[in-house]
Amino acid sequence: MSRWLSLYAVAAYVFLHLPLAVLAVFSFNSSRFTAWESFSFTWYHAAFSDSQLGEATVNSFLIGTAATVLATAVGTLCAYALWKRSSLWMTSTLYLSMVTPEIVLGIALLALYQWMFRYLGLQLGMHTVILAHVMFCTAYVVTVVAARLRTMDASLEEAALDLGATEWEAFFRVTLPQLVPAIVSAALLVFITSFDDFVITSLVAGVDSETLPMVIYAMARKGFNPAVNAISTMIVVGLGVLILLSSRLEHKA
Amino acid sequence: MAPAATLLAILFLIPIAIVAAYSLLSRGPYGGVMPPWNVENYMRLADPLYLSILWRTILYSFLATAVCLLAGFPLAWFISRSGTRKGLFLALVIVPFWTSFLVRTYAWMFLLRDTGLINSTLQWLGLIHDPLPLLYNPFAVIVGLVYGYLPFMILPIYSTLEKLDPALLEASADLGARPMTTMFQVVIPLAKPGMLAGGVLVFISCLGAYLTPDLLGGGKTIMIGNLVQNQFTAARDWPFGAALSLLLMAVVMAMLMPVLRREKDGLL
């Protein structure tokens, strides 16, 4: 392999990683200006003592967890059903939900909620955000779980049925255990996607359901605040660990 | 399947249908929508102001896609040729891609702003006196789009290069072709499906971009995504926003169709 190609690869990886690395380094800078002064945890303290950030983090975890549980359950069942009997309608709709631009999904959901609330008298809040997240994450779960199902031997389940297992028993005791790595991998992806979403969330969130990305966005717009560097670094490291975990599981599957 | 079908019907298909209906209604006096039904909202897309935003969206998306292709292909080639460390090099592309889009965009604000790292470093070195206007312009938006969507280009190209039979390269070399000739006559033609898939993925992602132009661009760099958002919030012109959304969705679907057809076994 030519030396030029290797050099280019180094440059490309620098481009991919340097912006985040620089952000992480400067999150430990004691100065509020972008000139290195000395190492300190000042901005981490600032981030942890900010009550708005704390509240938003709790919201993000609650929404992420609820969305993960629901989307994973619904998506896994859907992938299993599609494996048993394919449905062009269902597959196309899932594809469509994956490729529709986020901003369009966001305003479409907002339109639906407004229209429903006029008759039901409910308001935007955590529940509307969770439902939105479940909607756009289900297709990811189906994709990951379906990929695993395609590599599986259908005769195992048939054998279980022949040996007298009911359909439920065959699913829960034969098929499901083989799917566990793929399901966990999908669940991690859903959590990451949900935790990170800004565009859709900001459109369908209510006053009591501000999420972490929404606060970061507001802080980033307002002007420079090194505390954002500190939170960003924590998010990148946290989500980075989850994505590594998820890809490990997917390869194992 | 029933739970997923119900979920998608209520939270995806019905909302899209509502948007489609709104796009054919008129704007109410206090926002919202009202009859009569008409196609006025689609006619307004031809307004020079909106046409310029549409044109800009297409231009930025095209430029970002071209840069991604030129920058992504060599890296995909590098990864596919790197033997046992393929997994590591691939992970180095994927991991930053999955960690928070918002944070990755914010990282560029941190680098590019007037008091950002690039400007303060250049000033410290004495190379410039006044900060360079790096943020809030088309350059920043395109950099942000490339940074955001580069892996969409690398991954499909990588998967076609990965399947390439090494014997073809050896045959080409044995027949006297120089490495560059082999690259242009053998590798690139065979990698076309991956380049096409990557190109479409990057392009449609850019068309729907909202956060990148919003944070890295200024008032003169807004794209369709921002226009849609604006119609549903500040401008309170839901019917027009709905028409724009449907247009965006239609373009995205039309571009994806050929790619999805090609992928016979599909993702699902």
Q: Does the CB of A78 have a partner CB in chain B at under 8 Å?
A: yes
Nearest CA in chain B to A239: B99
pLDDT digits (tens, 9 = 90+) for B3-59: 788 888 888 888 888 888 888 887 777 667 777 777 777 888 888 888 999 999 999
Q: Using a CB-CB distance cutoff of 8 angstroms, which residues of chain A are in contact with residue B150?
A: 16
User: Quick one: pLDDT at residue B30?
Assistant: 67
Residue A223 has pLDDT above 80, yes or no: no
User: Quick one: pLDDT at residue B266?
Assistant: 53
pLDDT digits (tens, 9 = 90+) for B132-157: 888 889 999 999 999 999 999 999 99
Residue type, B231: Q
> Contact, A97 vs B12, CB < 8 A?
yes
- Which of A181-195, B16-30, B158-172 reaches the highest mean pLDDT? A181-195
Could you tell me the domains of chain B?
51-222 (1.10.3720.10)
Q: Tokens 């400067």 label which residue?
A: A26
Instruction: Write out residues 124-143 of A within 8 Å (CB-CB) of B.
Output: 131-132, 134-135, 138, 142-143
Q: Using a CB-CB distance cutoff of 8 angstroms, which residues of chain B are in contact with residue A87?
A: 1
User: Quick one: pLDDT at residue B257?
Assistant: 80
In which element (H, E) is residue B92 found?
Answer: helix B86-98
The whole-angstrom separation of Cα B131 and Cα B23 is 45
Mention every residue, 6+ apart, whose C-beta is less than 8 A from residue A25: none
Q: Evaluate the CA torsion angle B255, B257, B260, B264 in order and state its sign.
A: negative
Confidence of residue B263 (pLDDT cuts 50, 70, 90): low
- Which of A163-177, A226-240, B62-76, B115-129 reaches the highest mean pLDDT? B62-76
Residue type, B188: I
Instruction: Write out residues 80-119 of B within 8 Å (CB-CB) of A.
Output: 81-82, 89, 91-96, 98-104, 106-111, 113, 115-117
Interface mutation target, options B68, B99, B101, B121, chain A, most CBs of A under 10 Å: B99
Q: Using a CB-CB distance cutoff of 8 angstroms, which residues of chain A are in contact with residue B260?
A: 95
ipTM over 0.85: yes
- Packing angle between helix A176-196 and helix A51-84, nearest 10 degrees? 140
Q: Which among A16, A135, A228 is the nearest to B7, CB-wise?
A: A135
The whole-angstrom separation of Cα A101 and Cα A200 is 10
Q: Does the CB of A245 have a partner CB in chain B at under 8 Å?
A: no
The whole-angstrom separation of Cα B45 and Cα B48 is 8
The residue-averaged pLDDT of B162-170 equals 85
Residue B1 has pLDDT above 70, yes or no: no
Task: State the nearest Cα–Cα gap between B48 and chain A, in angstroms.
Answer: 23
Mention every residue, 6+ apart, whose C-beta is less than 8 A from residue B266: A91, B260
User: Quick one: pLDDT at residue A33?
Assistant: 73
Could you tell me the domains of chain A?
1-40 (no CATH), 50-252 (1.10.3720.10)
Q: Using a CB-CB distance cutoff of 8 angstroms, which residues of chain A are in contact with residue B251?
A: none
The answer to whether B77 contacts A5, with C-beta atoms less than 8 Å apart, is: yes
